[in-house]
Amino acid sequence: MAERKPRKDAARNRMAVLAAADALFAGHETPEDITMADVAAAAGVGKGTLFRAFGDRTGLLRALYETRLEPVREAVASGPPPLGPGTEPRRRVPALLDAVLCFKLDNRRLALALEEDGSGSPYRAEHYARWHGLLREALERVPGLTDGDFTAHALLAAVRADLVEHLAGREGVPREELRARLAEFVDRVLDGGPGAAGP
Amino acid sequence: MAERKPRKDAARNRMAVLAAADALFAGHETPEDITMADVAAAAGVGKGTLFRAFGDRTGLLRALYETRLEPVREAVASGPPPLGPGTEPRRRVPALLDAVLCFKLDNRRLALALEEDGSGSPYRAEHYARWHGLLREALERVPGLTDGDFTAHALLAAVRADLVEHLAGREGVPREELRARLAEFVDRVLDGGPGAAGP
DNA sequence: ATACGATACGGACCGAGGGTCCGTTTCGCA
DNA sequence: TGCGAAACGGACCCTCGGTCCGTATCGTAT
């Protein structure tokens, strides 16, 4: 059941591909004009190597994504408040969404590439399930809020890569303004609903 | 500058393609395994004809989509309340979103195909601009609500085709339940925010 | 009716890109 | 240093969106 360690040329090539792909995606306007052949060439590697290491295009994207996501996941899993566990939900939910937004702002092209990659909708990705589960759990502990499940989906939809790209990229909304707008929206959702308007 | 009437064989073929495409998308699980050649064959037409009539894949999808959307647009533009104009915003906003949701439920495959079609993000489509403009305008008249622009984006994100497909299709959430969940979420957004929790 | 220009037809053809295959090279262990 | 296993790499294949152009059809002027 234990996967044995890969040969060291394999490991080296894997790193080279990851680095090359990262640079390529960062440097190009749109993700879909970077071909697998481009990545292989930039990494100084054959296409066969690339596909053996990552399976397919989606696999490469996912590997890159997970790498970048690592620090955020760490902060969420065991960092200090307001992101870390043990934060009271009403405060943690906005922090989580802000973290997702910032992540997508910092990795626009990559997130975009992964989300619009045809193979399966974004909703099947396991990282989506993680965020959704986390959020739902937190939401269900917010007093007065019913249906944390749908609310989690809806809130995550507000930070989808292509929307972020549209606002931050095409419409040129500055980072801090976008964060503020999202924060306000999240606050509305958390404070609204039946009972909130009561005396 | 007036486009002259098309030849009648052209018109007939256009209809045939539209009908064939409609049937194909309705009958297949996933949109991307329907090729342009499939559509042409099903319509009893050559590929050349298909591409001359619609330009490209996106053009075909858009034409289909607009056709289906027509009644809804009509109801919004000049129908009775709560969808039509002249409805007070607080009541119209949920109605608009419910209409979008229902439309996507009734045209799941098609909406999915159009949204995940690589050519440009969904946010560049002019029908998105229409919905967004309409919603923003209505939202800006809802008392206590600031930033109708972002709110409109966020609310529309909650009814995106792939999310709807995920919930209604993959998770099997029944139509009415989904509508109820969305309605509740929209209400939270509309009633929440600063001031709503007043004295 | 007929001739003729304009328009549309249709399927062979093309190029791009994701993914595979397999002869050759490298690794790592004894 | 020998040898089997693992990895390499790029030629190759296939699908699919999109184009091209010789042929068929339409509509109109005569």
Interval A131-155: pLDDT, tens: 999 999 999 999 999 999 999 999 9
Selecting from B116, B170, B190 the residue whose C-beta is nearest the C-beta of A116 gives B116
Q: How far is A121 from B144, CA to CA, in rounded Å?
A: 36
pLDDT of residue B195 exceeding 90? no
C-alpha dist (Å) from residue B167 to A53, A55, B130: 33, 29, 25
Does domain A57-191 correspond to CATH entry 1.10.4160?
Answer: no
A7-55: CATH topology is Arc Repressor Mutant, subunit A (1.10.10)
Mean pLDDT of B22-45: 94
What does the pLDDT read at residue A121?
87
Return the higher-pLDDT residue of A6 and A98. Answer: A98
pLDDT, residue B121, reads 87
Q: B184 to chain A, minimum CA–CA distance in Å?
A: 8
Mean pLDDT score, B112-137: 91
Residue A40 or B194, more confident: A40
DSSP code of A81?
T
Which among B32, B118, B191 is the nearest to A197, CB-wise?
A: B191
B120: pLDDT confidence band, cut at 50, 70 and 90? confident
| Whether residue A88 has pLDDT greater than 70 | yes
pLDDT-derived band at A115, boundaries 50, 70, 90: confident
**Are residues A108 and A169 in contact, defined by beta-carbon separation less than 8 angstroms?**
yes
Q: How far apart are CA A139 and CA B94, in angstroms?
A: 22
Question: B161-181, pLDDT tens digit by residue?
Answer: 999 999 999 999 999 999 999
More confident residue, B6 or A148: A148
Instruction: Please give the pLDDT value at position A89.
Output: 96
- A window 24-83: Cβ near strand D (< 7 A): 44-49, 52-53
- pLDDT given for residue A183 in this prediction: 98
CA distance A57 to B158: 28
Residue of A nearest to B161 (CA): A121
Helix (H) or strand (E) run with residue A38 in it: helix A36-43
CA distance A12 to chain B (A): 33
Quote the percentage of chain A above a pLDDT of 70.
94
Contacts of B181 in chain A (CB under 8 A): 147, 150
How far does chain A reach from its first CA to its final CA, in angstroms?
60
Task: Considering only CA atoms, name the residue closest to the C1' of nucleotide C20.
Answer: A48
> What pLDDT, on a 0 to 100 scale, did the predictor assign at position A137?
97
pLDDT at A196 over 50: no
Question: What pLDDT, on the 0 to 100 scale, is given for residue B2?
Answer: 63
Instruction: Tell me if A153 sits within 8 A of A132, measured CB to CB.
Output: yes
pLDDT surpasses 70 at B198:
no
B192 vs A109 pLDDT, higher one: A109
User: Is B150 a residue whose pLDDT tops 60?
Assistant: yes
pLDDT for residue A107: 95
Query: Can you give the residue ranges of every domain in chain A?
Result: 7-55, 57-191
Sign of CA dihedral A57, A62, A63, A68: positive
- The verdict on B26 touching A (C-beta cutoff 8 Å) is no
What is the distance between the alpha carbons of residues B195 and B185, in angstroms, rounded to a whole number? 18
Least trusted range by pLDDT, from A103-107, A167-171, B12-16, B192-196: B192-196
CATH 1.20.120 fits B8-55, yes or no: no
- Chain B contact for A102 (CB, 8 A cutoff): no
pLDDT of residue A2: 61
pLDDT at B143: 92
pLDDT at residue number B5: 82
Section B94-104 average pLDDT: 98
Q: How deeply is A185 buried, as exposed, middle or buried, from its count of CB atoms within 10 A (0-12, 13-18, 19+)?
A: buried
Per CB-CB distance under 8 Å, the chain B contacts of A191 are: 192-193, 196-197
Torsion angle of C-alpha atoms A90, A93, A95, A99, degrees rounded to 10: 180
Taking CB atoms and an 8 Å limit, are B166 and A123 in contact across chains? yes
Q: Does A118 touch chain B (CB under 8 A)?
A: yes
- Specify whether the CB–CB gap between B18 and B63 falls below 8 A: yes
Out of B157, B158, B197, name the one closest to residue A196 (CB).
Answer: B197
Q: What is the mean pLDDT of chain B?
A: 93
Terminal Cα distance for chain B, rounded: 62
Single out the residue of A103, A115, A94, A105 nearest to residue A73, CA to CA.
A103
pLDDT over 90, % of chain B: 86
Report residue B79's pLDDT band, with 50, 70 and 90 as the boundaries: very high
A88 Cβ under 8 Å from any chain B Cβ: no
pLDDT at A39 over 80: yes
Is residue B27's pLDDT more than 50?
A: yes
